[in-house]
Amino acid sequence: MKKTAFIFPGQGSQSIGMGLEFYQEYDFVREIFDMVEEITKINLSRLCFKGPMEDLTMTVNLQPAVTTVNLACLAAVEKEGVKADITAGHSLGEFSALYASRVVSKENVSTLVLKRGELMHRESTRHKGAMHAIVGLSIDAVDKLVKEVQAEGVVAVANHNTASQIVTTGAPDQVEKVSLLASSQGAMTIPLKVSGAWHSELIKGAEDEFKEFLETISFNTPKMPIVHNVTADFAIDADEIKAVMAKQFCSPVRWYDSMHRLMDENVEIFAEIGHGRVLAGLLKKILPENYPGKIYNVNNMKTLETFLKEIA
């Protein structure tokens, strides 16, 4: 089989009904939901399948919900004997990649994202924040605008998603000012529906606490390489991975560089394992026209069958 990467979405991929087909089809998926619900004490099956959306999108609920659906989709793929060579995940999705590589157990990844969601929610109630997508400028151009405004308050790059799609994060006034400057240079700016300034200094108050919590979780040597958000590169052993995941809390997500790292490894099959098509959409903008890569989504029975048929 061609070199394959499993990539996992994070917050922003959700919608009502996610994971339902696999839940109805497979006992082992229902067991995953039951296990995570026992750990988190959240009725995730009801939230994922019936909503309401405002409850699902609360970060304390959403982080376990998205992760559970990612794990369910992965379980359906692994049941068919399909294995990846490399894995990566976008922000929250990186925790699903940790499980895919068996760095952490299903139970521990659920515990981690629950704690992460609780801490991020707490900090977002203490420090009002905003995030905007800027489309049409390079990372260097956005970095320059961010540096111009930083003297006035907290603002930073949260995600470098494609060559010309950058997400900013920070205090609402400063994020807005960067967007106005970007608009004056011809960029399109889009306020994101988020409850906090993720990947910014405004949630740094929880970073040390999350780092201490990570120390209580058993990490293993990865069974397959993970390209990490913070470095856009691999980490070799469990301790190094733990250190990288602690930094992920407030560091930019280097997704564009991470996908180029996968191309450097000659990955030809990119499978987005989880709900939605957010990462597939980004990849279509990242992969050069002449690159011999194919992009798949696996999030329901039809997409699973298509994926299995085409890679057979």
First to last CA, the chain: 8
What is the torsional sign of CA 197, 199, 201, 207? positive
What number of CA atoms fall less than 13 Å from residue 120's CA on the CB side? 27
Strand residue runs (E) in the chain: 4-8, 86-89, 130-135, 155-162, 165-170, 188-191, 269-273, 294-298
> Tokens 């925790």 label which residue?
95
Which helix H or strand E contains 207, and what residues bound it?
A: helix 207-215
Q: Give the separation between CA 171 and CA 96, rounded to whole angstroms.
A: 29
Per-residue buried b or exposed e for 237-271, using 16+ beta carbons within 10 Å of the residue's own CB? eeeebbebbbebbbbbbbbbbbbebbbeeebebbb
Out of 199, 228, 258, 275, which one is annotated catalytic? 199
Task: Tell me, yes or no, if 179 is annotated catalytic.
Answer: no
Tokens of residue 284, six digits: 């279509």
Q: Residue type at 236? A: I
Catalytic annotation, pick one of 13, 45, 91, 179: 91
User: What is the C-alpha separation between 287 and 254, in angstroms, rounded?
Assistant: 15
Catalytic status, residue 91: yes
Q: List residues with catalytic annotation.
A: 91, 199
